[in-house]
C-alpha cells in the first residue's frame, strides 16, 4: 500500500533554530506539494514541484523557508531561523501527474517555543 512518508511526525524546537522536514513521495509520482495548516489560515500551499523542479513557491516566506527535491525520493522543507509563528502542521503530498488526486502524508507537527 503506497503512501507518502513524512519525518519527523513531531518537532519541538526553540526560536532561532533550524528545522528540516522530510518527505518521501510515492514512487512514480511526478508532482510534490508542501502545505502548512493552521487554525487561523487553514491549508496554505507553500511550494509545488514537477519532476523535481520548483514551479510555484509564492506562498512561502522566502527569507526563512526553502524547499528542495535533491532526488525523486526525497523532498525537504527547511526553516532557518524558526519563529513561534511557524508553529503549525506541515503536510507533504504527491500526485501521479498534475491536476490529479493528491496523496497526503500524515504531517509534521512543529512547535517553535
Partner 1 sequence: GDSVTQMEGPVTLSEEAFLTINCTYTATGYPSLFWYVQYPGEGLQLLLKATKADDKGSNKGFEATYRKETTSFHLEKGSVQVSDSAVYFCALSDLTGGSYIPTFGRGTSLIVHP
| Binds partner 1 (CB under 8 A): choice among 32, 33, 67, 88 | 33
Q: Is 50 in the site for partner 1 (CB under 8 A)?
A: yes
Say whether 55 sits in a helix, a strand or coil. strand
Cβ distance to partner 1 smaller for residue 35 or 64:
35
Q: Is 91 in the site for partner 1 (CB under 8 A)?
A: yes
Q: Which stretch binds partner 1 (CB under 8 A): 17-25, 61-69, 76-84, 96-104?
A: 96-104
Q: Kindly list the distances between the CA atom of residue 97 and the CA atoms of 10, 51, 74, 81, 100, in Å, as whole numbers in the listed order.
A: 29, 10, 17, 33, 6
Cis preceding linkage at 52, omega within 30: no
> What residues line the site for partner 1 (CB under 8 A)?
4, 33, 42-43, 45, 48, 50, 55-56, 91, 93, 98-107
Amino acid at each position: 500500500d503506497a503512501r507518502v512518508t513524512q519525518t519527523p511526525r513531531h518537532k519541538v524546537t526553540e526560536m532561532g533554530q533550524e528545522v528540516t522536514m522530510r518527505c518521501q513521495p510515492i514512487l512514480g509520482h511526478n508532482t510534490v506539494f508542501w502545505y502548512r495548516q493552521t487554525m487561523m489560515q487553514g491549508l496554505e500551499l507553500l511550494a509545488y514541484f514537477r519532476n523535481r523542479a520548483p514551479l510555484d513557491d509564492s506562498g512561502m516566506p522566502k527569507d526563512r523557508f526553502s524547499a528542495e527535491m535533491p532526488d525523486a525520493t526525497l523532498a525537504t522543507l527547511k526553516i532557518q531561523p524558526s519563529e513561534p509563528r511557524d508553529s503549525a502542521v506541515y503536510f507533504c503530498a504527491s500526485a501521479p501527474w498534475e491536476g490529479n488526486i493528491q496523496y497526503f502524508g500524515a504531517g509534521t507537527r512543529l512547535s517553535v517555543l
